[in-house]
Structure 1
Amino acid sequence: MNQASGKGRVASMGWLLAGLLLMPMLACAKGPDTRAAVLVVGDSLSAAHNIPAASGWVNLLQQRVKQQIKAPPAIINASISGETTAGALTRLPGLLEKHRPSVVVIELGGNDALRGLTPAQLRGNLEKMIVASQKADAKVLLLGIDVPPNYGPAYRQRLRQTYAELAKQYDVPLLPFLLEGVALKPNLMQADGLHPTAAAQPQVLDNVWPLLKPLL
């Protein structure tokens, strides 16, 4: 072996060693693993409607996980005021692909009810969202809603059954009513009687937290 050939092999080995040493550094440079993300897909109840965004329960959730979870996940709020299950279903594949969440929180149905959508239609859209999330290896938390009494007891009961049956069929935790302890207190509801005030948001988070924490 001549001297030039020996030097070439040494140089090649040097580059190989340098590459192996750099691989862990390059992996770290990609940033934190987004599999720890929590994706909240909801409507105005989760989009901080008519209150400061910082006061909304989803933003308060971000603060809580930082305080109570050793490796806190990113909280991604994809909620939109006025969103329906059909609209969210259309957006969900892109959100799952982009954020690759480990948990998907679904808070939808209020606008469907206000627009007269049947519980069967509501169920079909929610079911597709649950299935898509689970196929993406995400755990699902389902947040139920209720409607004003003027919708009638039969419709309200069918709505409750829709969430309960989906939760049982797909083995996902269910919060039957997101605004439990809030909706019937005028001092915690905005003038429209549909949306909670900023003062109510900690209670909304307290309703969600016991079911969400075990999924993190």
Structure 2
Amino acid sequence: MRTALQYIIVCSLILFTSCKNSSEGNTPEKNAQDSRIEETVAEGNEVILFFGNSLTAGYGLSEGELGFPEIIQKKIDSLDLPYEVVNAGLSGETTAGGKGRIDWILNQQVDIFILELGGNDGLRGIPVSEPKKNLQEIIDKVRAKDPDIQIILAGMQIPPNFGQDYTSNFKNIYPELAEENDLPLIPFLLENVAGIRELNQSDGIHPTAEGQKILAENVWAILSEIIQKEQTEEFAE
């Protein structure tokens, strides 16, 4: 299995040029993106909301190519399950930026909330305490909105650009938060994609369409268990 040490990045600063929009506060791009995620949900359907950065947004994909949230929607449709996916990914988003827009996002229906943030913080060398604190505040806001919302945390790892201690401490953010909040954890969103040249775009960071299919599998492995549990409980009622 691929690990963070195999997450080969030509230069971590590429992230800032490809996703350079600041995620602190509101920007025209952020407002435009937010206005597009309002969905009309079919009666009786539940909403799976993906809240993340460029990985969730499908950065760099060509027209007609699908990001992992959209691939999961096709999977859901093929199984005739009563769920609709909302993609709230924003390129360049940090945990601080996510914390700043979560209240607006929660104005809509959310039943399953998949939290995919932190990679940009790690590549910028932000002290580990900050993304952990911000992620916790996002979790708290979601639960304050509705304690019945099922939160799934997507784990992230980074290359050892800032030293092995930082890399290890960053990786530990996610299992620690999952344990402290009793959350299902996707151990590493980019498992079996990070560091594999043919599954990543030329920047070495963002998955190709084929890589996105693997991300969808990584997410579905956890998400499908939640959906199955919900469907079983609903049937029992």
The corresponding residue for 1:128 is 137
User: Structure 1 stretch 128-137 or stretch 156-165: which is displaced more?
Assistant: 128-137
Q: Is the CA contact (8 Å cut-off) linking 2:125 and 2:162 kept in structure 1?
A: no
Bigger Rg, structure 1 or 2: 1
Gaps of 5+ in 2: 1-40, 228-237
Q: Is the CA contact (8 Å cut-off) linking 2:53 and 2:93 kept in structure 1?
A: yes
Moved >2 Å (runs of 4+): none
Q: Is the CA contact (8 Å cut-off) linking 1:160 and 1:176 kept in structure 2?
A: no
Letter of the structure 1 residue corresponding to residue 190 of structure 2: L
Q: What number of residue pairs does the alignment pair up?
A: 184
1:143-169 deviation per Cα after TM superposition (whole angstroms, max 9, x unaligned): 011112323211111011111110001
The corresponding residue for 2:61 is 51
Q: CA deviation at 1:138?
A: 0.8
Q: CA deviation at 1:31?
A: 5.1
Distance in 2 between residues matched to 1:31 and 1:214, nearest whole Å = 23
Gaps of 5+ in 1: 1-29
Distance in 1 between residues matched to 2:226 and 2:111, nearest whole Å = 9
111, 121, 125: which one pairs with 1:116?
Answer: 125
The corresponding residue for 1:171 is 182
Higher RCO (C-alpha under 8 Å, 6+ residues apart): 2
Q: Is the CA contact (8 Å cut-off) linking 1:85 and 1:109 kept in structure 2?
A: yes
Q: CA deviation at 1:184?
A: 2.2
Identity %: 36
Distance in 2 between residues matched to 1:127 and 1:112, nearest whole Å = 14
Say whether 1:40 aligns with 2:50: yes
* SS of 1:46 mapped into structure 2: helix
Q: Which has the higher helix share?
A: 1
Q: CA deviation at 1:33?
A: 4.0
TM-score (norm 2): 0.73
Distance in 2 between residues matched to 1:146 and 1:86, nearest whole Å = 18
